[in-house]
Amino acid sequence: MRQPFLSHSIRQRLILQLLVVAAVLAALLYLSVRSVADAAVETTQDGILGAAATAVAEQLRGGEDGVEIDLPYSAFSMLGATGADRVFYRILVAGETVTGYDDLPLPPEADRLLAPVFYTRAFRDTEVRIAALERTLLVDRRPVAVAVLVAQTRLGQEAIVAAMANRAAALGLGFFAVAALLSLVTAGSVLRPVNRLAEAVARRGPRDLRPLAHPTPAELAPFVTALNAFIARLRAALTRTETFIAEAAHHIRTPLATVRARAEIALRQTDDENTRATLRSAIRAVEDSARAASQLLDHATVVYRTDQRAEERLDLARLTRDVARNLSPTAELKDLSLAVAVPDSPVEVTGDRLLLKSALHNLVDNAIKYSPAEGTIEIALRPNGRSVEITVEDRGRGLEGATTRDLTRRFCRGANVADVVGSGLGLTIVEEVAAAHGGRFGIADRPGGGASAYLTLPLA
């Protein structure tokens, strides 16, 4: 797809425009210097030609039988001063050429020309500048028109103009080069505040939703204001999400807790086996919905935090010990022991503490749920090159052929766990946390029975 012009770099556009302006100015400079030089040189030549023509005309005398012509060579030597230029002349009496080059072009208007007229014509393979004037002489008491034409080639003039034009061109190029340099600097300095602003936004941590207080030029103020308004809306939306999750949990769980406590009390107080069975199934249902609600909300939290991960360096060894310690009373209820093999030294990874804790919690909780009483759950943490592997192994019922892919799909559970309370989200959460941290998660049947889950994370 063609990119619209607006999305091109402002810097490029700015530089391009400045360069075009500089080029136009340089060309104008060149042209105007050239035309001024042209005019100046031409005026000079015209002055000399005019003077020469006038000098020649002044030497013309009318007599009884014709016109007396006395060519003043001093006038021509004036012209000869300009380099290799050749000089031509032509004198006409009553329209007849009497001396000089009879093919030298006549002026456009051959009327009475008291002041010299100047014109440029092609003559003998070159261009000449011609000064022409007319005088009236009395020949045999009758007025006779005498015209004087003095011409000079333009080689010297062209050479001067060319020299000046070269200088003008050099000046124009120099001007352009300086302007180009300045335009680069200008583009840089004009765009610097934009770049600084972009850096300031990019440098922010994922949880940093404070408004921008970066000093910006007035032109960027509307942009910063809009950005800050957006940040404020985002913050409000996130706060609402967090509050909603918390309140949803509160409103779902508190009544469930009441139901559960009441059911347990009733169970203690009755001996009727039917009532007891009903109460047990009620408690199971409460547990089921509580767990589903809890994991749905955990899942929502995980998804939400994956988008806005709070990265920090943390000690995975300590985190693993904390999770194991926290779940040991739960394990104890089934006389299960948690064998924790974790190095004493810190094992640092970069990640979101809550997400990683949630993943580990789910792994260990799963192992406890599916283990028969009085077993041992082995939790191990092994740094391995540039990554660290956490394994949680139990002697439970295993997977019966289910794959990691099957078990990490939302709301999908193994085929052999219908009798155990669960939501089908626990391993989905683990998998999502692993993916968010650039790690891997897998679960497989353990040789000798049970399941073996691993979570691999890159070391910090």
Partner 1 sequence: MRFLLVEDNGDLARAAQTRLALDGHGVDWAASLAEAENHLLAAPYDLILLDIMLPDGDGRDFLAAQRRARRDTPVIVMTARAAVSDRVALLDTGADDYITKPFDFAELEARVRAVLRRRGGAAETLRRYADLTFDPLKATITIAGEARELRNRELRLFEVLLSAPDCIFSKPHLCDRLFSYAEAVTDNAIEVYVARLRKKLAGSAARIETVRGVGYRLTAD
> Other C-beta atoms within 10 Å of 103: how many?
10
Tell me if 151 sits within 8 A of 88, measured CB to CB.
Answer: yes
Q: How far is the CB of 307 from partner 1 (least distance, A)?
A: 15
Count residues binding partner 1 (CB under 8 A): 56
In this complex, which beta carbon is closest to partner 1, that of residue 329 or of residue 447? 329
For residue 345, give the DSSP letter: S
Pick from 64, 125, 271, 344 the residue near partner 1 by CB under 8 A: 271
Residue 433: what residue type?
V
Pick from 87, 147, 224, 302 the residue near partner 1 by CB under 8 A: 302
Residue 273 binds partner 1, judged by CB under 8 A: yes
Strand partners, 380: 341, 391
In this complex, which beta carbon is closest to partner 1, that of residue 55 or of residue 317? 317
Length of the chain: 460
In this complex, which beta carbon is closest to partner 1, that of residue 228 or of residue 350? 350
In this complex, which beta carbon is closest to partner 1, that of residue 75 or of residue 302? 302
**Which residues make Cβ contacts (< 8 Å) with residue 55, sequence separation at least 6?**
72, 74, 75
In this structure, what token pair is assigned to residue 274?
A: 């039917």
Pattern 392-421, partner 1, x by CB under 8 A = ---------------------------xxx
CA dihedral 245, 248, 249, 250 (to 10 degrees): 120
Pick from 144, 164, 190, 267 the residue near partner 1 by CB under 8 A: 267
Among positions 358-397, residues that touch partner 1 (CB under 8 A) are 358, 361, 369, 373-374
In this complex, which beta carbon is closest to partner 1, that of residue 166 or of residue 281? 281
Measured CA to CA, the distance from residue 179 to residue 191 in angstroms comes to 18
Measured CA to CA, the distance from residue 405 to residue 413 in angstroms comes to 11
The three-class DSSP label of residue 421 is coil
In this complex, which beta carbon is closest to partner 1, that of residue 97 or of residue 278? 278
Measured CA to CA, the distance from residue 338 to residue 263 in angstroms comes to 31
Residue 103 binds partner 1, judged by CB under 8 A: no
In this structure, what token pair is assigned to residue 129?
A: 């500048």
Strand ranges for 114-254 from DSSP E: 117-123, 126-139, 142-153
In this complex, which beta carbon is closest to partner 1, that of residue 45 or of residue 423? 423
Among positions 305-364, residues that touch partner 1 (CB under 8 A) are 305, 322, 326, 328-330, 332-335, 353-355, 357-358, 361
Residue 301 binds partner 1, judged by CB under 8 A: yes
Pick from 71, 113, 180, 259 the residue near partner 1 by CB under 8 A: 259
Strand partners, 148: 91, 133
CA 419 to centroid of chain Cα atoms: 57
Measured CA to CA, the distance from residue 307 to residue 343 in angstroms comes to 31
In this complex, which beta carbon is closest to partner 1, that of residue 330 or of residue 391? 330
Element (H, E) at 90: strand 87-93
Q: How far is the CB of 19 from partner 1 (least distance, A)?
A: 56
Place of tokens 């009755």: 270
Residue 181: what residue type?
L
In this structure, what token pair is assigned to residue 275?
A: 């009532």
Q: How far is the CB of 308 from partner 1 (least distance, A)?
A: 13
Among positions 234-253, residues that touch partner 1 (CB under 8 A) are 242, 245-246, 249-250, 253
* Interface residue list for partner 1 (CB under 8 A): 242, 245-246, 249-250, 253-262, 264-265, 267-268, 271, 273, 276, 280, 283-284, 286-287, 290, 294, 297-298, 300-302, 305, 322, 326, 328-330, 332-335, 353-355, 357-358, 361, 369, 373-374, 419-421
